Every structure is written in C-alpha cells, then in structure tokens.
Structure 1
Amino acid sequence: MKPADGVMFTGGAVQCPVAGRRGGRSFEASDWLAEEVPVALEFNGVAHAVMLATPLDLEDFALGFGLSEGILAHRGQLYGVERHDGAEGITLRLEIASAAFVRLKDRRRTLAGRTGCGLCGTESLAQVARPLLPLPVTQAPMASAAITRAMGELRALQALQQATGAVHAAAWCGADGEVRLLREDVGRHNALDKLVGALAVSSVNAASGFVAVTSRASFEMVQKTVCAGVPLLAAVSAATALAVQTAKRSGLTLVGFARGDDHVVYSHPQRLYS
C-alpha cells in the first residue's frame, strides 16, 4: 500500500474518510488508521493470552512471545504456528514441545490484552520478575554514536508509523548502529516480541548488537531484551525505576532519552564509549 505522501508499507492499516481543520481551513480527506485486532494465542490447544496487536509479522510475534515470556527455552521448542482469522479476531495456534507445555502450565498466565500493559492478568507476584540469566560482560564496547545512528534510521524506516502516527517500533541494530531488523505494532511490548521472534530465526548474533525502541524503557521491555540475549537496550523515552533495577541485576546496559546525540545511561555504562 502507498499513502499519499509516498511512504510504502505492506499492511497493518486501513483507509478512513476524515474531516477537520488545518491551517485555519476545513478539509475532507482519506486517512490511514493503524489496525488493532484481538490476537489470541493458544498453546497445544489451550487458550493462554489475548493481545490487541497489529496483524503483521504474527509468526514472529508468536515465537517472540513464547521466548520472552519464558514459555519456550529456544526456538526449536516451537513446532508450528497456524493462523485462523475469524469475525472477532485472529487465533494463533502454536504447537510446542512437551517440556515447554509443562513449563507453561507451571506458570499459567491469562493476559487480557491491552496495548499499554504487559502484566494484565498475571496470577502471582512471582510470575512478574522471573529469574533471568545474567548477560555476559565480554562484548566489545560500542561507540555512543551508534545509538545516534540507530535512532535516526529507526524513524526513517517506520513506514507504518509515518502513514498512521499510531504505532511503536523495535529494531535490532548492529554495533555500528545500522538497523538490521525492524518490527512495528500498536503495542510496544508486541513490537519487541515480534523483533525477538525475528531475531530467533535470523542468522545474526543477537549479542553483537543492541535493541532500539520508540517507547519508554519499562520493566518488561528490559526483561524481554535480556531474554533475547541482547546486551543493550536504547529507548527514546525514560526508563522506570524497576526497569533500571532489573537492568543492573541482569547485566544489561540501559539507555534512555536517546534523541539526536543525547542519551542517558542508567546501568552498565562500560559497554559504551564516546
């Protein structure tokens, strides 16, 4: 699809007639709206979560959700994903290994999906802060200029955001700041889950680069990044206190307010040099 300004994207938006005022004049036009649909995830026939998401890259979303939520230990535990479109939304039916299914039942969650909350429906406090394997500290440090480059490329590559103004993005960037993988969604957690899934099936070494996101750095964004084995998370907005605590404990370099040449480093600054 191609909006009026020439931005190209491959779905995730619908056109809608609109009217309003701009520059002191009334107008009527056709605008692009980001799609937001209920996406249900079923594991081995058992309903587990319903999230409101943009219906793009849903296989990546299914795999990334399973990995970042600690259901799947590795991508090989996901045997297949079937998509079923219905009048009320989309169902993703995942076939997973028996060990993963046992793990799922041990930490059962039912998420009443909302794009702004990643913990809706968590059944116990113990499920919130899962044990995370600390990230190794042996990676070569990256230049802070890589973050500047990544954030600039991220904005330029957000085709769906440019068309609708309503979606987040998460990108994996090489140590030089080049954006190599990017996923968009109305939900920031969903965008990161899609990226985690895309990373898992790619040939890149996740630990050799970093993740850049267009949102704040919340606790769950930190947790998902650590689960993906990525040593640095750069966010365009601030970090929360719990996110910083988790990043320090997990060995993650957490960067916030990454705008232009400016940024704030909250934890493990040794991975960056000027």
Structure 2
Amino acid sequence: MGRQTAAGEMNEAGDRNEPSAASAGGWQPRAAIRHRRGEVAQVEDRLAEETPVALVYNGISHAVMMATPLDLEQLAVGFSLSEGIIARAGDILDVDVVHGEEAAEVHITLLQAPFMALKAHRRALAGRTGCGVCGIESIQLLDLHAPPLARAGACAQVDAAAIARAAAGLPAHQQLMRATGGVHAAAWCELDGTIRFAYEDVGRHNALDKLIGRLVEDEQDTALGFVFMSSRASYELVRKSARVGVTMLATISAPSSLAVRIAGEAGMRLVSFCRNDGFVEYVAGGAPVVDAQPAAVPR
C-alpha cells in the first residue's frame, strides 16, 4: 500500500532533487552558539524537523498537523484508525505521500462508506504539534471516553522486570532523539518487555499513530504486548490506544487525571514513571499502586 513522491522532483538544471541525508533522518543542521561552563563556542547543532503534514481523504483535506516527516504512511493509517475515521485497515485503498519543500501531503483513498461517514462528521483539525483536540468546533464534539477493551487484563503479568527491560532498551531505538534531543518515541513491547520496534516524532500523538500504523501493517495481536512511550500519559494517548485494542500503556513521565479515568473506563492497565527499578500503576478512583522492587536490568 502506498508510494512516496517528491514535489518538484527535477530542478532547473534537470537534476533530480534528492532529500539531504539530514532531512531523510528527520533532522536539519543549524549554526548555534553554545554557552557552557563559562565557555562560548560556535557549533553546528541538529534540530528535529517539524513540518506541516496534511491528511487528504479522497481529495478533501481533513487535518493538518505538525509532525516529523518520516514514516508518514504509518502516521496516516494509525491516525485514521485511532481517530475512528476507519474501522479496519481494509477501509483504505491507497496511501500516497507527497513531499514538498516546506510541507507534505498524504493522500488517502478510502472506500465509499467510510468516506461518506467522514464527510458527515468532518471536523477541522488544524492544530499544533500532534495536538489531539485542537480545531474541534465545540466541547460537545470532544470525545472524553474510550471503548471498553474486549481483552482487558491481557497484560496483567507484565512486571517490574519487563518494565525495566523496556526502559533499558528504548534508547537503542531513539536514533532521532540521540541526534536532536527533541522528539518522543513510541515502542511496541512483548509481554517480557522486549522492544520489537519503535517510532519517533516531535509530537507524542504522532509517534503513537505511526506505531499503530505499523501494528496494523503487521496484523499484530495487540493483546500480546504493550505500548511503551517516552512521554507523559495524556488522555489522547489512552483513547487512541484503546481504540485499537491496546490493553496496557506504559510511560516514562506522569499521567493526567483524565488519562487515568479513561484508562479505568476502558479496562486498560496504565503505568507511569517507568524506570529500571520500578513504576507507579494508576487505578481509576483509587490510590496508585507503587511497584518499587529493585529489578536488575535484564540482559
């Protein structure tokens, strides 16, 4: 499914415009002056790319988000599922990614039924970096609930050792983070904490949507693993995860109160402050459960 093209593929001299190695890696070099320990030096820094990305369904622009221009096909599939635009991957006939000089467009061709439903419930989502609610026209249109999970409890056996393994393994999958220091990561982990794959983006919601797109492509059983993220746990991350059947979300930083509430409604296991020596598990309507048993980092 899908193909990628570049807007203005040939320059005036007739040479093909290829993306730079930096751009292909999701970052751009910039001159900077570094002040550290009383010393001043001129350096070249690497900045994470942030690009307007338009999602165009059957020729109609539906959403514009700020994202890292990598893995945009996965972003489109994951966004379409996690936002309820489609019910299954088969609702998408084709995905075409077009890169321009200052923006990108992802053209998604839907089956007639989901496209007509999208037109009936269309909302403008022009927003900030991966924002999950920007552009909603009224509070009444805001979905603050998540569907109950059919297989809630599938990740009950995930323990401190599994969390430690995921926390220790994530940096190896954060190439863009190492280059720039400015992006989020979303990883898919087996029940023992082994990371299968991960995606990065300047927006945490975008990173998760890219991961969801990959899960769909691989036809992954979402009850046989969990999502581990380098960010905080916001309500949008919980809602998006629940929509595709993810039964456990683990994050390095804190959750919001709404994220805890929605996770409780869905029956999703939510753990945060994940480190190699423990985590905090949140229970809707109750006190947090702290698992601080020291755990050696699994090898």
| Same fold (TM > 0.5) | yes
Match of 1:93 among 88, 107, 117: 107
How far off its partner does 1:46 sit? 1.1
Is 1:29 matched up with 2:58? no
Instruction: Please give the per-residue CA displacement for 1:213-256, whole angstroms capped at 9, x wherever unaligned.
Output: 11110110000111121110001111111111110110100111
1:100-249 matches, cutoff 5 A: 100-115=114-129, 117-124=131-138, 125-129=140-144, 132-137=147-152, 139=154, 141-249=157-265
| 8 A Cα contact 1:13 1:164, kept in partner | yes
Aligned position for 2:274: 258
Structure 2 gaps of 5+ residues are 1-19, 294-299
In structure 1, what is the Cα distance between the partners aligned to 2:161 and 2:117? 41
| 8 A Cα contact 2:153 2:267, kept in partner | no
How far off its partner does 1:107 sit? 2.4
| 8 A Cα contact 2:148 2:265, kept in partner | no
Q: Which runs of 4+ in 1 moved over 6 A?
A: none
Identity, % of aligned positions: 46
Instruction: Please give the per-residue CA displacement for 1:116-151, whole angstroms capped at 9, x wherever unaligned.
Output: 631001134244235524241352622231111111
| 8 A Cα contact 1:172 1:212, kept in partner | yes
> Using a 3 Å threshold, how does the CA distance of structure 1 residues 267 and 135 change in structure 2: closer, same or farther?
farther
Q: What TM-score do the two structures reach when normalised by structure 2? A: 0.83
* Structure number with bigger Rg: 2
In structure 2, what is the Cα distance between the partners aligned to 1:240 and 1:211? 17
In structure 1, what is the Cα distance between the partners aligned to 2:243 and 2:179? 31
How far off its partner does 1:50 sit? 0.3
How far off its partner does 1:203 sit? 4.4
Is 1:53 matched up with 2:67? yes
| 8 A Cα contact 2:147 2:243, kept in partner | yes
Structure 1 gaps of 5+ residues are 4-8
Instruction: Give the 3-state SS of the residue equivalent to 2:223 in structure 1.
Output: helix
> Using a 3 Å threshold, how does the CA distance of structure 1 residues 134 and 91 change in structure 2: closer, same or farther?
same
Q: Paired residues, what number?
A: 268
In structure 1, what is the Cα distance between the partners aligned to 2:24 and 2:163? 27
Aligned position for 2:57: 43
How far off its partner does 1:2 sit? 8.7
Aligned position for 2:283: 267
When the two chains are superposed, the root-mean-square deviation of aligned CA atoms in Å is 2.4
Q: What TM-score do the two structures reach when normalised by structure 1? A: 0.90
How far off its partner does 1:18 sit? 1.6
How far off its partner does 1:263 sit? 1.1
Instruction: Give the 3-state SS of the residue equivalent to 1:112 in structure 2.
Output: coil
